[in-house]
C-alpha cells in the first residue's frame, strides 16, 4: 500500500497535481486521477487535493507543508498511476 493511501502527516496542507488532458506525457497523471484519487481522498478527507488539467501544462505534483514550505516533482513522461503515486509520496 502506498504512503498516499494512508493518512498523511499533519504537516501536509495541500496536494496539487497538474497535467494536460491530451498529452501522452501526462498519461500517468490521468491514470492516477482515475484509479488512485478516490482512495487517497478517502484516507485524507480534510486535505485539499487540487487537480488542474489544461492544454500544454507539464505534468507535475506539488505538496505544500505547514509554514508555506512547498516541494514539487516532475511527472512528465510517467506512464503508470503507481509511478505517479511513488513520485508524489517521495516528497513526503
7 band by pLDDT with thresholds 50, 70 and 90: confident
The pLDDT assigned to 9 comes to 87
- Domains of the chain, earliest start first: 22-89 (3.40.30.10)
The per-residue pLDDT for range 23-63, each reduced to its tens digit, is 999 999 999 999 988 999 999 999 999 999 999 999 999 99
What DSSP string runs through 28-68? HHHHHHHHTHHHHHHHSTTS-EEEEE-TTPPPEEEEEEGGG
Amino acid at each position: 500500500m502506498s504512503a498516499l493511501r494512508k493518512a498523511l502527516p499533519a504537516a501536509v496542507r495541500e496536494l496539487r497535481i497538474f497535467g494536460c488532458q491530451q498529452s501522452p506525457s501526462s498519461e500517468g497523471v490521468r491514470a492516477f486521477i482515475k484509479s488512485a484519487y478516490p482512495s487517497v481522498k478517502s484516507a485524507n478527507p480534510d486535505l485539499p487535493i487540487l487537480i488542474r488539467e489544461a492544454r500544454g501544462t507539464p505534468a507535475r505534483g506539488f505538496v505544500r507543508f505547514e509554514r508555506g514550505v512547498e516541494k514539487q516533482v516532475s511527472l512528465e513522461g510517467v506512464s503508470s498511476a503507481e509511478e505517479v503515486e511513488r513520485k508524489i509520496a517521495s516528497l513526503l
